[in-house]
């Protein structure tokens, strides 16, 4: 996968970043755009995307990812002050099809939340593996990190 591909004609977020695609913008800068999700899970649901076409989390330059996090913090503050219903915020990033990524141009969801809203992520949050299992998994990840650097 090429790291920092130029704008792609078949990419909906590249079209938005270049101004040819329609979007309800809240932020435009040289590195990032922030705009309303066209199918908001709650009113005010935002997306932050790099202006360049980058598909995978692993290919995002660390400074771009850091800028996305900083912008998410700023947009979250805006959401809380906006008058839209926002009692909490979820940040959500889908990396890869198995994780639910549907648009293969990196983006971070900033989702306003409120008590009783319809947003759901279903998972078994109460699985209780043994400490030995957790330690084994941690070892596998540490080993992978050592081999990577
Ligand atoms: P993901 O599953 O993380 O890839 O999410 C992709 C998101 O992009 C979905 O929430 C879509 O509703 C949203 N989306 C797709 N096309 C557009 C568009 N043209 N403008 C704004 N949001 C879009």
Q: What is the pLDDT along the chain (149 residues), one digit of tens a residue?
A: 444 565 788 999 999 999 999 999 999 999 999 999 999 999 999 999 999 999 999 999 999 999 999 999 999 999 999 999 999 999 999 999 999 999 999 999 999 999 999 999 899 999 999 999 999 999 999 999 999 87
Q: What gap in Å lies between CA 63 and CA 49, rounded to an integer?
A: 13
Q: What is the pTM of this model?
A: 0.94
* Nearest alpha carbon to residue 108 among 3, 25, 35: 35
Q: What gap in Å lies between CA 6 and CA 61, rounded to an integer?
A: 15
* 3-state helix vs strand vs coil in the chain, percent to 5: 35, 20, 50
Find out whether the beta carbon of 10 lies less than 6 Å from any atom of ligand 1: no
Contact (Cβ atoms closer than 8 angstroms) between residue 79 and residue 86: yes
Q: What gap in Å lies between CA 123 and CA 40, rounded to an integer?
A: 21
pLDDT of residue 148: 85
Find out whether the beta carbon of 102 lies less than 6 Å from any atom of ligand 1: yes
Find out whether the beta carbon of 71 lies less than 6 Å from any atom of ligand 1: no
Find out whether the beta carbon of 96 lies less than 6 Å from any atom of ligand 1: no
Contact (Cβ atoms closer than 8 angstroms) between residue 34 and residue 27: yes
Residues 6+ apart with CB under 8 A from 90: 109, 111, 113, 119
Per the DSSP assignment, residues forming a β-bridge with 35 are 25, 47
pLDDT of residue 7: 75
Å from CA of 44 to ligand 1 middle: 13
Ligand 1, pocket-test mutation among 14, 37, 40, most atoms within 8 A of CB: 37
pLDDT of residue 6: 59
Find out whether the beta carbon of 94 lies less than 6 Å from any atom of ligand 1: yes
pLDDT of residue 41: 96
pLDDT of residue 1: 41
Q: Which atom number of ligand 1 is nearest to the Cα of residue 41? A: 10
Sign of CA dihedral 76, 77, 83, 88: positive
């Amino acid at each position: 996968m090429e790291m920092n591909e130029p704008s792609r004609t078949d990419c909906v977020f590249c079209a938005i970043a270049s101004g040819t695609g329609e979007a309800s913008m809240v932020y435009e800068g040289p590195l990032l755009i922030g705009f309303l999700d066209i199918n908001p899970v709650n009113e005010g649901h935002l997306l932050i995307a790099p202006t360049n076409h980058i598909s995978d989390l692993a290919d995002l330059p660390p400074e771009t990812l850091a800028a996305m996090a900083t912008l998410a913090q700023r947009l979250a503050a805006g959401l809380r002050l906006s008058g839209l219903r926002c009692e909490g915020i979820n940040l959500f990033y889908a990396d890869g099809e198995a994780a639910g990524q549907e648009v293969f141009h990196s983006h971070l969801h900033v989702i306003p939340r409120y008590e009783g809203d319809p947003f759901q992520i279903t998972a078994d949050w109460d699985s209780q593996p043994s400490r030995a299992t957790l330690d084994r998994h941690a070892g596998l990840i540490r080993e992978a990190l050592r081999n990577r650097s």
